[in-house]
Structure 1
């Protein structure tokens, strides 16, 4: 890879530019502001800055990572795909169902390599969980529970939380889109899901115009019931998931990066590496996308899977009960 573009100037775009520079010797990186407003300061890990997608297309990069706000993914990705430039789109695929379906349709039409960046799938612990569930170590699965929460003002200390993408509906904010990793991996592990019940709330603590807390009940086509809690409110971050089957339970701590099996034989730690460099999952994701471009075996998340996650979020919102302010 000699020339790679990255759309967006936020934290995740900085990470991608840095990783691309580290991965490919001599690569030149093109940066592009999502807003179209050219920055006055220099851009870290970038050799060239362009103002818009057309300028990016004219440089004909080997591939582009779209790391703009979710509501701009369609606007930025479709012209690249139609120009036969491979695109890795940061999660979620889009901010709205219609945009997600349009993106998926264009991807099918032009056959340009494209994938969506759900990086948690590249954690060793997530691959192990998938293997354990596929081999029915806990028997037939009938229940799963998810708890994910972190206090939003702690996410990006260099910016006030109300100014972040997470806090703004027009940019794809709210826990459902921002924490869509959980909805993605549950469908990856348990099959396509449908919402049964959803309860969304805001808080006096953050006072945002997007949902700050979500409690959801989902059911898979195979009959697995999942209870999921997502929030922007927990001061001590938590990201855990449990899978219950007829022979035992798998507990997955995504922050601790540990997998534990509970069964009649007692408790057994199957894997635990809390010191892992979490940047490695982003690096693995880019390497995997290059494998896709080169027609090699890969585990990339395709746009149709990612579009289903956006559809699911749309269904959850449509059926949700809005609770009292916390």
Structure 2
């Protein structure tokens, strides 16, 4: 399969490597001069050479919408995987975009998240608390954090977008959000202009009380979700790969860092789309982010 990765930052390099390992013929679109045998300066140049079968959009978040528009103009109707989030601001999908356009919320392919999903099936959920935090300067040790897209809201940075995996998997587990209240912004002494803390309170289809804490500040990475049902307390730790029920360990997963990304690509290559985040679902996450930012500005609940 002929695949194209648009963008060659850290995540673009990962997608390129994984697709190569999966046996794809990989081309890369990058404005920079990079060490890749099939580098093209523009997407149009790729299409002039040979029409791809699969496109991964991994450039800056602020450039995603323009890339989707270009794919529509080029008449591409194959599968597209867009890095999360779908865009830095709410958008309308361009007319003619492929129906097989998905967004890379790869936690849907994490066996721990799927284990949790199976175990709460049929349970009455009372409360959910999710927490994700990691110190931004440690994210990319080879780069000055102040120069990364994460530091700049106009490039799609900010913790509520960077850690929107939590918003997606909670939406997926809990049948969608209905209203949100939030606090957050640039609150620490990190030298960035994007938000570094966001705390959300949600109502969802399956749970009346959901809290989500996201930050760029935890010196020791922390990523957990606790679910209280009428029968049990379940806690998943996505750092150590463990699931406990009522304090007792029931599952452990030793997962390679690339495993969920690879599983996501394999699902697309095998046309097994059931677990993938659709563009429409990703737009709903963008709506939630927009509503949370509105709530934080106005100190008020925002309905969907």
Q: Output the TM-score relative to the length of structure 1.
A: 0.86
Which whole-Å CA distance do the structure 2 matches of 1:297 and 1:217 have between them? 30
Alignment partner, residue 251 of structure 2: 271
8 Å contact from structure 1 (residues 202, 212) kept in 2 = yes
Tell me, what secondary structure is at the counterpart of 1:129? Answer: helix
Which whole-Å CA distance do the structure 1 matches of 2:10 and 2:298 have between them? 31
Tell me, what secondary structure is at the counterpart of 1:18? Answer: helix
Which whole-Å CA distance do the structure 2 matches of 1:322 and 1:169 have between them? 19
Runs of 4+ in 1 over 6 A off after TM superposition: none
Are 2:80 and 1:80 aligned?
Answer: no
Tell me, what secondary structure is at the counterpart of 1:320? Answer: helix
Q: Give, in angstroms, the shift of residue 223 of structure 1.
A: 4.2
Alignment partner, residue 194 of structure 1: 178
Which whole-Å CA distance do the structure 2 matches of 1:146 and 1:184 have between them? 12
For residues 18 and 110 of structure 1, do their structure 2 counterparts lie closer, same or farther at Cα, with a shift above 3 Å needed? Answer: closer
Question: Number of aligned pairs?
Answer: 296
Which whole-Å CA distance do the structure 1 matches of 2:57 and 2:44 have between them? 14
Deviations 1:149-175 (A, max 9, x none): 000000001110011111111110001
Q: Give, in angstroms, the shift of residue 204 of structure 1.
A: 4.3
Q: Output the TM-score relative to the length of structure 2.
A: 0.92
- Unaligned 5+ segments in structure 2 are 300-304
Alignment partner, residue 91 of structure 1: 84
Deviations 1:50-93 (A, max 9, x none): 11121233231111110111111111123224422421111111
Which whole-Å CA distance do the structure 1 matches of 2:3 and 2:280 have between them? 24
Which whole-Å CA distance do the structure 1 matches of 2:146 and 2:235 have between them? 34
8 Å contact from structure 1 (residues 199, 322) kept in 2 = no
After superposition, residues 163-202 of structure 1 pair within 5 angstroms as: 163-202=147-186
Tell me, what secondary structure is at the counterpart of 2:282? Answer: helix
Are 2:106 and 1:115 aligned?
Answer: no
- Unaligned 5+ segments in structure 1 are none
Tell me, what secondary structure is at the counterpart of 2:68? Answer: helix
Q: Give, in angstroms, the shift of residue 95 of structure 1.
A: 1.1
For residues 166 and 110 of structure 1, do their structure 2 counterparts lie closer, same or farther at Cα, with a shift above 3 Å needed? Answer: closer
Which whole-Å CA distance do the structure 2 matches of 1:200 and 1:16 have between them? 31
Which whole-Å CA distance do the structure 2 matches of 1:250 and 1:131 have between them? 12
Are 2:5 and 1:6 aligned?
Answer: yes
Q: Give, in angstroms, the shift of residue 110 of structure 1.
A: 4.9
Which whole-Å CA distance do the structure 2 matches of 1:179 and 1:14 have between them? 20
Tell me, what secondary structure is at the counterpart of 1:173? Answer: coil
Are 2:62 and 1:71 aligned?
Answer: yes
After superposition, residues 150-299 of structure 1 pair within 5 angstroms as: 150-262=134-246, 267-273=247-253, 275-292=254-271, 296=272, 298-299=274-275
Q: Give, in angstroms, the shift of residue 321 of structure 1.
A: 4.3
8 Å contact from structure 2 (residues 199, 211) kept in 1 = yes
Which whole-Å CA distance do the structure 1 matches of 2:285 and 2:20 have between them? 31
Alignment partner, residue 26 of structure 2: 29
Tell me, what secondary structure is at the counterpart of 2:277? Answer: coil
8 Å contact from structure 1 (residues 201, 322) kept in 2 = no
